[in-house]
Amino acid sequence: MMRLSVATLSGLPGDIDRPRYDRAGIGTGVVHLGIGAFHRAHQAVFFEHALNAGDLRWGVTGASLRSPAVHEALAPQDGLYSVVTRDGAAERVQVVGAVRDVLVAPRDPAALVARLAARDTHIVTLTVTEKGYASSAADSAAGYLAAALAERRSTGVDPFTAISCDNLSDNGGRLKQAVLAAARQSDPALADWIEHQVAFPSSMVDRIVPATDEDDIARLAGRIGVEDRAMVKTEPFRQWVIEDRFSGPRPDLAAAGVQLTADVAPWEEAKLRLLNGSHSAIAYLGGLAGIDFVHEVIALPAARAFVAALMDETAATLTPPPGLDVPAYRAALLARFANPALQHRTRQIAMDGSQKLPQRLLAPIIARLDRGLAAPALTLAVAAWMAWTGGRNDLGAAHAVEDPLASVVADALGKATAPEDRVAALLSLSQIFPVRLAGDQSFRQALIDDLALLQEQGARAAFARFTGR
């Protein structure tokens, strides 16, 4: 079957949205590091909006820091790909033209640095996952940004604005620290310049983007008549809140639907705790119960009651920003989780738990303990992660624990099987659990009780504790 490309674009069915601008005329105002499905379904769609509105500066050069897979999928398609938006039976297809090319950093690091240093690059966005901020090595995101900023500074080119789009609190601050650390290794004066000249606004990003599978690709091919190996599937909802602090030009982001605000922190906190915290809880408990998809978990009344209890616990820790109606937000989240057309796998969300737990589950637990409040649902979610690290679900089926700390976790666990030993081993990992939690006896005991319940009776029995509350 023919591939989606510039040559096949005009033959697509009439109801498929496509670029309304001349792609030959677009610039490269944006470089994106970590061009996975999330970027293609989120930030790229906002830049596509600016292009469609006639501001042709905002084409995107994507970069992969490791794998050539996205380059290989997009190159034969001239960078074109479809965003398939599903809600129940409704499906909309938009072919996006914003991505001009994809660089594979390990193949040609100098090309990436040159692109980042180019005069017309004004915005750099990043989705390098939670674990992507730990390194400042030359081949890390921070390393590339520091190298490019050094070049901009020495050639007298104004800096770009660097916008982190990862699910971390204070993501702008973390990116800045990582880039400063990379800069200091080569030149303290560069670090000083970056500190004062470069804006690293924090941002909150939201759109559920399940991994694409071969069935999705085949189904889309049936609809549009060509094969698209770079398609992404997602929900109608999308949100991007950016701290209004830029070091250079930007498109009319507000017109594209971006919320610009002086303080992203309360948005980020509400989203990380209510959406992502629920997601991780659903992933570990649902995964243990042997349930494949998020919408299947949320369809169980007991699981839904558990998620509602978790949201109650979390909501009490938030200071919602003006403009966020928490009850409406919660109801909308439950409806989004229930979307059966997304086919969002619990396994996908279960990945990288060691990097996700702190901001999603542990921070609200600490906030509650500080106020003398118990956190039974949040604690059960943490116990479920602990059970998940054992590598078997309630039915005895084995799963891989995909996590950058998987071997550290396995070493800590050793041969421990008793709940108190497993809890002690995992709480001793200070990379995950701050002393405030590891040292709290009531929290430790609650974890032991929950892990015992999960080991003896399974996740479905644990959910049942929350029905009728």
Contacts with ligand CS2 by CB under 6 A lie at 167, 206-208, 275-276, 279, 348-349, 356
> What's the closest the beta carbon of residue 280 comes to ligand CS2, in angstroms?
7
Cβ at position 102, least distance to ligand CS2 in Å: 21
**Shortest distance, CB of residue 279 to ligand CS2, whole angstroms?**
4
Tell me how far, at minimum, the Cβ of 351 lies from ligand CS2, in Å: 7
Nearer residue to ligand CS2 within complex by CB, 349 or 446: 349
Which tokens in the block code for residue 293?
């998809």
Q: Are 175 and 126 in contact (CB under 8 A)?
A: yes
Choice between 208 and 253, CB closer to ligand CS2: 208
Element (H, E) at 365: helix 363-370
Distance from C-alpha of 57 to C-alpha of 43, rounded to nearest angstrom: 15
Least Å distance, CB 446 to ligand CS2, is 24
Smallest distance from ligand CS2 to CB 440, Å: 26
Give the position of tokens 């997602």: 234
CB-nearer residue toward ligand CS2: 207 or 229: 207
Q: Quick one: 385 or 443, whose CB is closer to ligand CS2?
A: 385
CB nearer to ligand CS2: give 78 or 403: 403
CB of 348 to ligand CS2, least distance (A): 6
Of 38 and 160, CB closest to ligand CS2? 38
In the complex, least distance from residue 190 CB atom to ligand CS2, rounded to whole angstroms:
33
CB of 83 to ligand CS2, least distance (A): 15
Query: Is the CB of 153 or the CB of 336 nearer to ligand CS2?
Result: 336
Give the residue with the Cβ less far from ligand CS2, 56 or 315.
315
**Between 129 and 136, CB nearer to ligand CS2:** 129
Q: Which residue is nearest to ligand CS2 (CB)?
A: 279
Per the CB < 8 A criterion, the answer to whether 136 and 185 are in contact is: yes
Q: Which of 152, 150, 136, 140 is nearest to 189 (CA)?
A: 150
Q: How far is the CB of 157 from ligand CS2 (least distance, A)?
A: 33
Q: Which residue lies nearer to ligand CS2 by CB, 115 or 304?
A: 304
Please identify, using beta-carbon distances, which residue of 337 and 433 lies nearer to ligand CS2. 337
- The residue with tokens 């604005």 is 161
- Closest distance to ligand CS2 from the beta carbon of 131 (Å): 12
Secondary structure of the chain as H, E, C letters: CCECCHHHHCCCCCCCECCCCCHHHCCECEEEECCCHHHHHCHHHHHHHHHHCCCCCECEEEEECCCCHHHHHHHHHCCCEEEEEEECCEEEEEEECCEEEEEECCCCHHHHHHHHHCCCCCEEEECCCHHHHCCCCCCCHHHHHHHHHHHHHHHCCCCCEEEECCCCCCHHHHHHHHHHHHHHHHCHHHHHHHHHHCCCCCEEEECCCCCCCHHHHHHHHHHHCCECCCCEEECCCCEEEEECCCCCCCCCCCCCCCEEECCCHHHHHHHHHHHHHHHHHHHHHHHHCCCCEHHHHHCCHHHHHHHHHHHHHHHCCCCCCCCCCHHHHHHHHHHHHCCCCCCCEHHHHHCCHHHHHHHHHHHHHHHHHHCCCCCHHHHHHHHHHHHHCCCECCCCCECCCCCCCHHHHHHHHCCCCCHHHHHHHHHCCCCCCCHHHHCCHHHHHHHHHHHHHHHHHCHHHHHHCCCCC
